[in-house]
């Protein structure tokens, strides 16, 4: 079974289509009376006319009451099912008034013109004049004004709560980042020093240090991801370069850490060029 709200939407859509069709018919009649040929009318009814009709339809659906539902306590009359039904069928009421009008022409074209004019006139009066007037009168009622004041206060309180929650979340993130940075400052220097010692032992004794270097890299990845690994790599590389006093060396750390997290080892030739 179709709900009343869905039925109203279908009626509003149908009335909007009828309104656009009536406007298009009057436009064609005006062009014909002005002496325009059918070739001009067909050209005007191409993409530009379709675009205009779509914009009109979108405007009617977005702005008027077919989509926008005001608060019931602030608009007790215009939110009632009876008024909304009257609002949505007003184009058809205008068409019916034009149909039974005694001013209707004798031929079909004149009669259709009267129907279209009745559609546009009635729709304009109801949607543009009558509805805003009634809504304004409703808003002046004491109960409506009080409900509007409370609703605005509630909206303001919700926005304030959202702002406070965002500030708390930002403060927590900043606190977390500060704590992580503090931990990095605490743990990275000893780890960099350990890597420097391992590289020295490898250069002098040829000790198998790769598993331990990989373990330190994995720990850095767990602590802070790729950023932490880069910081540790730079610290260890600078410390080892100072020990070698400008001598060339191979960046074994960058090579052995390949595959840890997002770390990718550069080519050996590129490593030698950068460390030269």
276 residues of the chain, pLDDT tens digit each: 456 777 877 887 788 788 878 877 777 776 666 665 555 545 544 445 554 555 565 455 544 544 445 666 677 777 788 888 888 888 889 888 888 875 555 677 778 888 888 888 888 888 888 888 888 888 888 877 787 788 888 889 999 999 999 999 998 888 877 777 777 777 888 888 888 888 887 877 777 888 898 898 898 888 888 888 888 888 888 888 888 776 777 788 888 888 888 788 775 534 444 544
Distance between CA atoms of residues 173 and 171, nearest Å: 5
DSSP state of 140: T
pLDDT at 165: 92
Continuous H helices in the chain: 4-33, 38-44, 47-63, 81-100, 108-123, 131-139, 142-205, 210-244, 252-256, 268-274
Residues 6 or more apart in contact with residue 64 via CB below 8 angstroms? 127, 131
Q: Of the candidates 135, 53, 127, which has an alpha carbon nearest to the alpha carbon of residue 90? A: 127
Report yes or no: 138 and 77 within 8 Å, Cβ to Cβ: yes
Q: What is the model's pTM?
A: 0.45
pLDDT at 162: 92
DSSP state of 130: I
Q: How far is CA 269 from the centre of its chain?
A: 47
pLDDT at 158: 92
pLDDT at 67: 44
Distance between CA atoms of residues 148 and 14, nearest Å: 32
Instruction: Say how many CA atoms lie within 13 Å of 86 toward its Cβ.
Output: 11
pLDDT at 129: 87
């Amino acid at each position: 079974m179709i709900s009343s709200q869905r039925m109203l939407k279908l009626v509003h859509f149908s009335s909007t289509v009828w309104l656009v069709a009536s406007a298009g018919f009057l436009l064609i009649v005006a062009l014909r009376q002005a002496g325009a040929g059918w070739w001009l009318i067909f050209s005007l009814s191409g993409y530009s006319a379709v675009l205009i009709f779509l914009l009109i339809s979108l405007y009617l659906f977005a702005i008027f009451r077919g989509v926008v539902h005001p608060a019931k306590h602030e608009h007790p009359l215009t939110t009632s099912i009876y008024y909304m039904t009257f609002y949505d069928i007003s184009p058809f009421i205008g068409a019916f008034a034009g149909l039974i009008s005694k001013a209707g022409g004798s031929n079909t074209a004149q009669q259709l013109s009267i129907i279209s004019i009745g559609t546009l006139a009635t729709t304009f009066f109801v949607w543009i004049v009558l509805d805003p007037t009634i809504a304004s009168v409703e808003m002046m009622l004491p109960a409506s004004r009080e409900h509007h004041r409370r609703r605005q206060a509630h909206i303001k309180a919700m926005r304030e709560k959202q702002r406070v929650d965002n500030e708390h979340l930002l403060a927590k993130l900043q606190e977390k980042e500060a704590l992580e940075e503090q931990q990095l400052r605490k743990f990275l220097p000893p780890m960099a020093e350990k890597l420097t010692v391992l590289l020295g032992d490898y250069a002098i004794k040829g000790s198998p240090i790769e598993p331990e270097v990989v373990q330190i890299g994995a720990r850095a990845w767990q602590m802070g991801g790729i950023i932490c690994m880069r910081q540790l790599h730079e610290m260890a590389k600078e410390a080892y370069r100072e020990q070698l006093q400008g001598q060339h060396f191979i960046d074994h750390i960058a090579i052995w850490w390949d595959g840890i997290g997002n770390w990718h080892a550069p080519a050996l030739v590129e490593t030698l060029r950068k460390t030269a």
